[in-house]
Homo-oligomer: A and B are copies of this chain.
Amino acid sequence: MGISDRKEREKQEMKKLIIDAALRMFVEDGYEKTSIRNIADRIEYSPGTIYLYYKDKDELLYAVQKEAFSKMLETFQREATSRSPWKRLEQIAYSYVNFGIKHPDLYDLMFIIRAPMNTAEEKGDWDNGDACFNYLTDTIGECMEKGLLRYSDPRVAALSIWSMGHGLVSLQVRCRFKVMQLSDDQVSNMIHLSIKEFLRTIKA
């Protein structure tokens, strides 16, 4: 049945066409400001068509999230490759924060937006999200085996390190550091100083 193969292929192509447009528009204008109608316009289909491929706008978000996490994982695999677990942990930290600062709208979709796991319980797969998380936990595991971290529980270590990174990025992305009345360069500098300092303090 070559004909149904082609149909399946066309269906996947259509899904990709939609999600590519959605990703571009989410990043350009943000999730909330991007409407199904706009996406439909961009790919020159009617709004209803999108619902033949994705159940609702949330499912579009999940798909884009998946792409974003895949992108982040690639970044880790490119930038955090040191054989030394401790050095790799440092690389991951900087990689993570730089990713967030460089792609604030992607970061928004991945870690700030209210949507995925707060309602959808079973959606807890978090597709490529856990792969990124594992990249961190594996490295932390190695560090702890070699006694390079001042933590006693690797889960607490992971939670702490992630929180510090996320705190820095998300306060920056949401412009909350404005209260400090510093220039953009100064804030950027201090974010990196914060990571540096934090890494120093958690090192055994």
Evaluate contact between A197 and B156: CB separation under 8 angstroms: yes
Taking the full assembly, how many copies of this chain does it contain? 2
Within 8 A of B (CB), among A66-104: none
Residues of B within 8 Å of A130, CB to CB, are 179
**Which B residue's beta carbon lies closest to that of A119?**
B175
Interface SS of chain A: helix
**Which B residue's beta carbon lies closest to that of A193?**
B156
Chain A interface residue count, Cβ-Cβ cutoff 8 angstroms: 49
Residues of B within 8 Å of A167, CB to CB, are 162-168, 170
The residue that A171 contacts in the complex, of B30, B113, B166, B190, with Cβ under 8 A, is B166
- Any B CB within 8 A of the CB of A111: yes
Contact string against B for A residues 96-128, beta-carbon threshold 8 Å, 1 for contact and 0 otherwise: 000000000000100111101110000010100
Residues of A within 8 A of B (CB): 30, 32, 108, 111-114, 116-118, 124, 126, 129-130, 133, 150-151, 153, 155-156, 158-160, 162-168, 170-171, 174-180, 182, 187, 190-191, 193-194, 197-198, 201-202
